[in-house]
Structure formats: C-alpha cells, structure tokens
C-alpha cells in the first residue's frame, strides 16, 4: 500500500505543479501587449517601421506561444485529475470486494 500512496502523492504533486505553472505562463503571456506598434518609439530613421514591425511580430508570437503553453498545461492537469479519480475508484472497488468476501 505504501507504493500506491506514494504514486498518488506524486500524481497530485505533478497535477498541482501543472496547474500552478499554467497560471504563471498565462501571466507571462498576458504581459505581451503589442507595445511596439508605433515606429516612433524606435526613432525617426527610415528603418524604424521595420524594427517596429519585427518587434510586434516577436511580441505577438511570444504571447501566442505562452497562451498555448498555458492551455496545454491545463489539459495535463485535467488528465492527471482524471487518472487520479480512476485510480481512487478502482482502489475503492477493490477494497469493497475484499469486504464482501
């Protein structure tokens, strides 16, 4: 039984870590707010527009990737929760079977 308890604790730790990290990644992604749309922030040079466009592209891509990571970790958390529930239900059914005998 100690092994089953350890695995349940490890799964719970993994699930809670996935949940926590999903929130952290989401917060980082929320920080990307298209701050580089105005070429004037890069000066009055002819290439300022290109720099602003490139910075906006990086900003947008980073925000998208962090949002995707948040979503994926949310799915991992839900999958681990489903596994935990299935293991607990199977364990309870096994215990009930022993009580009936």
CB 56 within 8 A of CB 35: no
- Would you state the pLDDT for residue 101? 61
- Would you state the pLDDT for residue 95? 79
**Model confidence, pTM:** 0.74
CB 59 within 8 A of CB 36: yes
CB atoms within 10 A of CB 77: 19
Q: State the average pLDDT over residues 30-37.
A: 76
- Using the predicted structure, report yes or no on whether residue 75 has a pLDDT greater than 60: yes
Q: State the average pLDDT over residues 87-94.
A: 84
Direct distance between the N- and C-terminal alpha carbons of the chain, in angstroms, rounded to an integer = 20
CB 17 within 8 A of CB 9: no
- Would you state the pLDDT for residue 4? 54
- Would you state the pLDDT for residue 2? 44
């Amino acid at each position: 039984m100690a092994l089953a308890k350890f695995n349940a604790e490890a799964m719970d730790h993994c699930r809670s870590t996935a949940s926590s990290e999903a929130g952290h990644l989401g917060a980082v992604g929320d920080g990307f707010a298209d701050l580089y749309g105005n070429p004037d922030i890069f000066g009055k040079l002819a290439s300022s527009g290109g720099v602003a466009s490139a910075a906006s592209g990086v900003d947008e891509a980073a925000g998208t990737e962090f949002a995707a990571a948040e979503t994926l970790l949310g799915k991992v958390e839900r999958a681990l929760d489903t596994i935990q529930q299935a293991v607990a239900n199977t364990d309870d059914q096994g215990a009930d079977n022993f009580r009936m005998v």
